[in-house]
Chain A
């Protein structure tokens, strides 16, 4: 079953800027879907249209088969939105915000109270339920927005940069929570600038640039396209002249660090053996950068060059 389908979705803003150029996107039910792209690529516009905060210029949106134009009630009932910026009433308490949101979705107060307790406890906000929202920390505000988005138990949860500005510990706990929600059957669409986050959470991915989808596949297929992996090696006894290693590209970063590019088909142990032959001992190693990040940059670069050529 399809959770979200957009067809030829187009948005031209009043000033004439075209934010989306006929986007066709399909997200399967149960997916953990990553929507990536540089700033201004059109991610937020796309999410805005799906959540009806932005009016589309043309195209169709269907949410679990419900047409957003023909049956907005049914389509909107399926969606929970966690926007990028805090958008709750800063004069209301945590409980009021969550209960009111439940009410807007037609959930009776009695049921809403039970759900509010469950989600606020799950997200570590129960003790602060009577606190006025403006007194919460940044991380708590983020979690409040997630609780609010989940209170009507949507089948499709859309998160726009949910962990922006959140410390690492909280980010990891939010990942666990989102994985749990996804395991329970909620389809999740996530936009993020942290590609490590997308690589860790998402099974499927779309990359959007300049209002166009330039890649839409599962993350494993995407990562398979990387022909080499780059590693940073912490070493001892680097000789004055670096040895030439056939099949590997090696260069020195600083006095104790080497960078090596390893083709996908070669084993890393071959690098260690070759270095050992030249008296170089590897004490530790790490990925040079996130693999997805590398691909992301390459794809955007390719798309940029391709666009320039086409123009």
Chain B
């Protein structure tokens, strides 16, 4: 008879294995996973912050470079946490080595947590790299460290789960590019990365409030600069709410075997 504590220990080993494997994956291919965002975000800082920024002038009392830095960091976190999970999980499906996990006694919640941990790890590491790049161009005061860190972790978690759901439904490689290209990127760019909400006409300000990414970018900006277009409590509620909702949905799909079991 296997005791509950033994099952828990086994699940912990499974989770550690999966997290190690996922971490090793994105570190092994760092030229594809860590270097590109560093280069892209450097270009953002050079072009938008260094060349165009001075002509735009201060925004919300900060230099344009200071204002966009938190948004650019979040942009990197969102795209990388999402991209890591969607490509890794779909790759495992495509090569069929996901079957290694499916035949094992690893509980579905551990599979979800393992992949999400990988996505969060890459998201945070990329965020740290982009932050390092940002410090060459501007100062980042980090007014509220706890908020800054918690928001970036929650955002990476949410988008990692999003990537997981996308990968479950994906049947071909095109399917893992559709959401990032046609939904995620536009929502991120329109989420106040490069501008303050107050610059928009009232109608578009209201429309923008339906964009969940706006809350994350602004909450992070509040943590770093101490200014935001939205209420921090609302941002936390949205992030936590979506994490619970998406997490339960992902687990439901795993339990059903959607896209995984014939």
Contacts and interface: CB of A to CB of B under 8 A. Distances in A.
Given A73-B105, A74-B2, A108 B13 contact: yes
A88 interface: yes
Contact of A55 (B11, B16, B261): B261
A77 B21 CA distance: 21
Contact of B95 (A48, A81, A90, A108): A90
A105 interface: yes
A100 B21 contact: yes
A142 interface: no
Nearest to A72: B105
B100 interface: yes
B13 A106 contact: yes
Contacts of A83: 99
Contacts of A108: 13
A100 to B, nearest CB: 5
A99 B24 CA distance: 13
Interface residues of B, number: 30
A79 B262 contact: no
Nearest to B92: A89
Interface in A64-122: 72-74, 76-77, 79, 81, 83, 85, 87-91, 96-97, 99-108
Nearest to B96: A87
B17 A100 contact: yes
A83 B18 CA distance: 21
Nearest to B14: A104
Interface in A50-67: 51-55
Interface string B72-111: 0000000000000000000010011101111111110000
Contacts of A105: 10, 14, 104-105
The 10 closest A-B pairs by CB, nearest first: A103-B17, A106-B10, A104-B104, A87-B96, A76-B105, A73-B105, A106-B13, A89-B97, A54-B262, A51-B103
13 contacts: A52-B103, A53-B99, A54-B262, A73-B105, A76-B105, A77-B105, A83-B99, A85-B96, A89-B92, A100-B17, A104-B101, A105-B10, A105-B14
